[in-house]
């Protein structure tokens, strides 16, 4: 327990050092937050982006994945769990912590179903499909990037690294959801892998639960793409209002997804600091400015919406759910 507290304190200190350096060096100006008060419409646009785009559409995507497994959980409960995980995400290191909270809450109902592995796998697959939207946005930006793509070695290797990892992930998921009997035979072989064989076969069997469900996966992917396009559009508007500078939309399609992926690193709470530095550096590479200020606007909105997520945490306890909210599986 003490070690966990010390680790969390250390990460908050690390965050403080990063923000302190950015402010001291002039890369971050907290006064730019007054843009929200100067332009209430932009405040509303950013709020809708986080609350409806990120929270709402992500909850719909996860709900669709659960229903495809004949796991019936009322949408308001899925939305509540998503909000609670978002609430904890603002204090826990890295955005991946959000998935841990969702898994914890969904497993509170494990006595009601024998499908505990598919339940957790639905969270993992939901996150993967979310990454799919981010990566597709990134790759779309790459296609229309100016010649800096071939000139800057950092951009060049970033593109190849992300592209290779994306291909491996998509290929793996696609193989396991193909309606082929040979795949089932391959899964049996996974059990023979030393040490991790039992874990691999559990994951593989959970993925096989989505075998042939291309319609469901297409809907989920479509929601991921829609969420990301809305996010990039709102950040583009924010950048132009903040800097009075216009950059090609392809630049935003490149910078925003990479900056978003950087927040996954479990180094600071909610990816703060890391996201500030990433946005600042990436926009600077393309002749832009105030990247850290732009991320700060977004991050403060995440804090606001995440705090609202504390309401269902206080009001909706797993042990005090209504009977109709309990997780059930169709027979």
Residues pairing with 71 in the sheet: 329
- Within a domain: 234: yes
Q: What is the pTM of this model?
A: 0.81
| pLDDT-based confidence at residue 121 (cuts at 50, 70, 90) | confident
167-172 average pLDDT score: 77
| pLDDT-based confidence at residue 111 (cuts at 50, 70, 90) | low
Assess whether pLDDT exceeds 60 at residue 326: no
- Within a domain: 6: no
Domain of residue 149, residue span: 34-322
Q: How far is it, in rounded angstroms, from Cα 139 to Cα 136? A: 5
Mean pLDDT of the chain: 79
- Please count the structural domains in the chain: 1
9-31 average pLDDT score: 81
| pLDDT-based confidence at residue 224 (cuts at 50, 70, 90) | very high
pLDDT tens-digit series, residues 247-281: 888 889 888 988 888 887 777 777 788 889 999 99
Query: Which residue, 168, 163, 172, is CA-closest to 200?
Result: 172
- Within a domain: 137: yes
- Within a domain: 312: yes
41-64 average pLDDT score: 92
Assess whether pLDDT exceeds 60 at residue 114: no
- Within a domain: 26: no
Cα torsion at 65, 70, 76, 79 (round to 10°)? -20
């Amino acid at each position: 327990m003490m070690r966990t507290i010390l680790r969390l304190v250390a990460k908050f200190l690390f965050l403080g050092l990063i923000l302190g350096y950015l402010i001291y060096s002039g890369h971050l100006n907290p006064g730019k937050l007054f843009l929200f008060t100067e332009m209430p419409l932009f405040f509303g646009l950013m709020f809708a982006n986080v609350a409806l785009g990120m929270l709402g559409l992500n909850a719909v995507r996860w709900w669709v994945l659960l229903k495809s497994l004949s796991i019936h959980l009322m949408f308001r409960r899925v939305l509540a769990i998503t909000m609670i995980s978002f609430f904890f995400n603002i204090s826990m290191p890295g955005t991946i912590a959000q998935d841990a909270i969702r898994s914890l809450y969904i497993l509170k109902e494990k006595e009601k179903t024998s499908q505990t592995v598919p339940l957790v796998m639905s969270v993992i697959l939901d996150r993967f499909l979310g990454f799919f939207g981010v990566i597709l946005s990134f790759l779309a930006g790459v296609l229309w990037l100016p010649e800096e793509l071939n000139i800057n070695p950092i951009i060049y290797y970033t593109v190849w690294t992300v592209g290779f990892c994306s291909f491996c992930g998509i290929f793996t998921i696609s193989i396991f959801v193909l309606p082929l009997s040979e795949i089932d035979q391959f899964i049996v072989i996974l059990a023979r892998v030393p040490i991790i064989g039992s874990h691999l076969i559990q994951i593989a069997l959970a993925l096989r639960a989505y075998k042939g469900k291309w319609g469901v996966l297409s809907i989920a992917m479509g929601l991921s793409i829609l969420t990301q396009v809305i996010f990039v559009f709102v950040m583009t508007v924010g950048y132009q209002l903040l800097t009075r500078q216009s950059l090609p939309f392809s630049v935003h399609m490149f910078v925003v997804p990479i900056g978003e992926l950087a927040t996954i690193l479990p180094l600071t709470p909610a990816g703060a600091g890391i996201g500030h530095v990433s946005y600042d550096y990436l926009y600077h590479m393309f002749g832009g400015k105030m990247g850290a200020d732009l991320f700060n606007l977004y991050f403060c909105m995440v804090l606001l919406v995440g705090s609202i997520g504390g309401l269902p945490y206080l009001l909706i306890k797993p042990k005090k759910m209504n009977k109709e909210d309990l997780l059930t599986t169709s027979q």
